[in-house]
Amino acid sequence: MAILTFVGFTLLVAVIAYFATRKTNEKTSDGYFLGGRSLTAGVVAGSLLLTNLSTEQIVGLNGQAFSEGLSVMAWETLAAISIVVTAIFLLPRYLKGGLTTVPQFLEIRYDKTTKSIASGLFLLGYVVILLPIVLYSGSIAISDMFDIPTLLGVSHEVSIWICVWGIGIIGSIYAIFGGLKAVAVSDTVNAVGLLIGGLMIPVFGLMAIGDGSVTEGITTLMAEAPEKFKSMGTPTNSVPFSTIFTGMMLVQLFYWGTNQAIIQRSLAAKNLKEGQKGLLLAAFFKIMGPLIVVLPGIIAYYLLGNEIDTPDRAYALLVNAVLPKVFLGFFAAVLFGAILSSFNSALNSSITLFSIDFYTEYIKKDASELDVIRKGKYFGIFLAILSMLIAPLIAKAPQGLFGYLQEVNGCYSIPILTIIVVGYLTKRVPALAAKIGILSGSLLYIISQFIIKPIVTNNAVEAAMSSGVTDAAELALVESQAYPHYLHVMAILFVTNILIMLVIGKLYPRKTDFVLEYTEKVNIEPYKYLVPVGLFICATVIGIYYYFA
């Protein structure tokens, strides 16, 4: 029954996506890469949410909540503020310039070389990190949920290969042959399913705690595990409270405001008003995100604390413990949709970056739009196959790879954010400053995190041990305080990069002021309630933090 429900819901999504996109003209760049610039607010919001949510986040963040509690909600709730900033500050400028990719702005503002560097960094991150990890983490979830090894009589390793290729092929069909609109529509349908399925887990979990009553479950949970309901992370937590005022907001702004896989949904809006409404709707749902990606981890701590040896297993074990078997197929289909969304969205954005920023610039400048789309699809097939070959090999990588890769992303995220912000806020800072900004930002971060930090922390821990400190918690505190948190380092380098660029702009300014021209591709009249709704969302986030302080 579970498998039939799973297949049925998955096919339903495919059918809806087909009928919603069959009249879209995908023989033009705008039609294929941006869905004909026709997405409405609901589709933009749904696609943003599903592109963001994946098994890595659902499983990983709940695992962190199992260990640390509510403080990890910063990755969800603070996203709402950065989405509001994107809606007010960045999206109007993107749509005014008629952009298909974020790096296109860098060419308009600086030069072609700057754009190519940024596009190359985005592509490298998607191909080497994001696509294989989404496939691998998703395959682990599906394999365990349906017990594929037993079902098919194969080893665990073979079951991972089967799931990787199954997810990869289906995701590739959406991304490569359907274009952005097929991806966005399927995301929207899956978003509805994810909200329903994702909320089922905490509801049934709280009912299990409260003997059938959700309210009793909440009361009992907060009374028995009050330490898990603190919004302010300690210095040893993965998200210390102080970091939300520094690098956390910068990382969020980079992700929601400049990450091609995310912002492409907003670039495809039919007009600025729909794009801003879609972003605001997504921001509202991100405030509710902890109900799906944080609360279940705390429930698992209360219900199954003694049975869980690895925090990352908390979510899966909770699902198996509290979800009625009749809903298992539907929930697996929803989770499958989240996996597909993250994969096909990153793949579609990789195709867009290659086609617009590399193929037409360096390979065939006079290529027709049909040729650009065709070559983009070939590139997408190549990337998909490469990702499916790499993904199962992640199992052989060192433990803690995912957390390590999150930190590694800082090598290019903050430098790119810096040159975009400076590009929009100044008129005379030259292309030279952007190139030096990317180079200095990357090099300084690499030196800080992978050369200086290990030396400093190791020396601090050794000094503490030689002075008689042996308690693991005390040593962890010493290690956490020996060197600034990587989010603090990002903020320091962000300010440093800006100052470097401003100095260069003062010494070697552009000959003319930069002026962003209106391309008139879409109407850029803003949503009239943008500011009050945005302020309400920000106030709500602050209120949540204050309540759980």
Q: Kindly report, residue by residue over 347-386, the tens digit of the pLDDT.
A: 777 877 788 778 887 887 777 777 877 887 788 888 888 8
Distance CA 392, CA 135 (A): 8
Is pLDDT at 251 greater than 80 in this prediction? yes
**Collapsing DSSP states into helix, strand and coil, what is residue 271?**
strand
Same domain, yes or no: 499 and 542: no
403 inside domain: no
Confidence of residue 6 (pLDDT cuts 50, 70, 90): low
For helices 2-21 and 131-146, give the axis angle rounded to 10 degrees. Answer: 140
Distances (CA, A) of 15 to 10, 33, 166, 333: 9, 21, 18, 15
Q: Give per-residue pLDDT as tens, 135-161.
A: 887 787 777 777 788 888 888 788 888
What confidence score (pLDDT) does residue 19 get? 58
- Do 328 and 363 fall into the same domain? yes
- Grade residue 31 by pLDDT with cuts at 50, 70 and 90: very low
Tens-place pLDDT, residues 445-464: 999 988 999 999 989 888 88
d(CA 255, CA 160): 29
Question: Are 523 and 501 members of one domain?
Answer: no
Q: Is residue 186 packed enough to be buried (19+ CB in 10 Å), middle (13-18) or exposed (0-12)?
A: buried
Q: Is the pTM of this model over 0.85?
A: no
Based on the fold, state whether residues 349 and 442 are members of the same structural domain: no
10-27 confidence digits (pLDDT tens): 566 556 555 555 555 444
Return the C-alpha torsion angle 179, 182, 183, 187, nearest 10. 170
Q: Name the percent of the chain lying above pLDDT 90.
A: 31
How many whole angstroms separate alpha carbon 338 and alpha carbon 343? 9
The residue range of the domain holding 194 is: 2-15+26-396+518-547
Tokens of 2: 């579970």
Q: Which of 165-179, 297-311, 321-335 has the lowest mean pLDDT?
A: 165-179
**Could you tell me if residue 304 is inside a domain?**
yes
Judgement on whether residues 503 and 531 belong to the same structural domain of the protein: no
Whether 21 maps to a domain, the answer reads no
In the structure, what pLDDT confidence band is assigned to residue 206 with cuts at 50, 70 and 90?
Answer: very high
What count of Cα atoms within 13 Å lies in the side-chain half-sphere of residue 185? 21
Residue 306: both structure tokens together: 């003694």
The CA distance from 114 to 416, in Å, is 10
- The per-residue pLDDT for 187 is 62
Q: Which of 112-121, 311-320, 482-491 has the highest mean pLDDT?
A: 482-491
Tokens standing for residue 239: 């998200």
When pLDDT is averaged across residues 285-308 and rounded to a whole number, the result is 89
**pLDDT at residue 295, as a whole number:** 94
Please give the tally of structural domains in the chain.
2
Q: Would you say 387 and 127 are in contact if contact means Cβ atoms under 8 Å apart?
A: yes
Both tokens assigned to 266 = 């907003």
Residue 58 lies in a domain: yes
Q: What is the CATH number of the domain that holds 258?
A: 1.20.1730.10
